[in-house]
Amino acid sequence: AQSVTQLDSQVPVFEEAPVELRCNYSSSVSVYLFWYVQYPNQGLQLLLKYLSGSTLVKGINGFEAEFNKSQTSFHLRKPSVHISDTAEYFCAVSDLNAGNMLTFGGGTRLMVKP
Amino acid sequence: DGGITQSPKYLFRKEGQNVTLSCEQNLNHDAMYWYRQDPGQGLRLIYYSQIVNDFQKGDIAEGYSVSREKKESFPLTVTSAQKNPTAFYLCAITWGQGPFGYTFGSGTRLTVV
């Protein structure tokens, strides 16, 4: 079975600083990777996804992520965060054997301070 | 929420009562999922359905029941057998068998009073 590990449960950062949210997965077969964002009392919104091709994926709100197959990682980055980026971020993965089902990480709470 | 609607947004239940959460979609997606979210615990899969009239248990199905009589609807019933039902419940949909990701509803917060 697949597993997804988000190494940090909370990441505090000052406004306008860069941030990296880490995600590692366990699958050794071809994978598809996703990052979602959740604002308080709302559902999850898709930030970006990697299906194939370029390993650097750009998403909404200035976020990007890099797929690293050798390290089985898909870390999310933003060069300069805003207060409005304060939210919970979830990494998810599926593979060829999983069809359309996703396995989610435990989430990382990004807390942007003024 | 892009064609997926969860209702109600807030729900209060007395202990010992069953309660049903609604999830409706108009995107003609095949697969529908129910997740439970507790503070600091991420998402846990309760039930999912890939086609009408068929559904499968997820990781924490005990105390819950579902039905999939129509493609558009996948209601979740939280029964009195669920010992700790207070949580945020999320419905998600996707289509086909490919890696298309999920579209989520806005969630229902259930509180036992």
Rg (C-alpha) for chain B, rounded Å, is 13
Q: Rounded to an integer, what distance in angstroms lies between the CA atom of residue B2 and that of residue A94?
A: 22
pLDDT at site B47: 97
Looking at chain A, the whole-number percentage of residues with pLDDT higher than 90 is 79
pLDDT at site A98: 74
* pLDDT at B2 exceeding the cut of 60: no
Contacts of residue A90 in chain B, CB cutoff 8 Å? 42-43
A70 CB-near residues (< 8 Å, 6+ apart): none
Nearest by CB to residue B101, choosing from A9, A34, A43, is A34
* pLDDT at B1 exceeding the cut of 60: no
pLDDT tens-place string over residues A40-86:
889 999 999 998 889 999 999 999 999 999 999 999 999 999 999 99
Nearest by CB to residue A43, choosing from B1, B40, B42, is B1
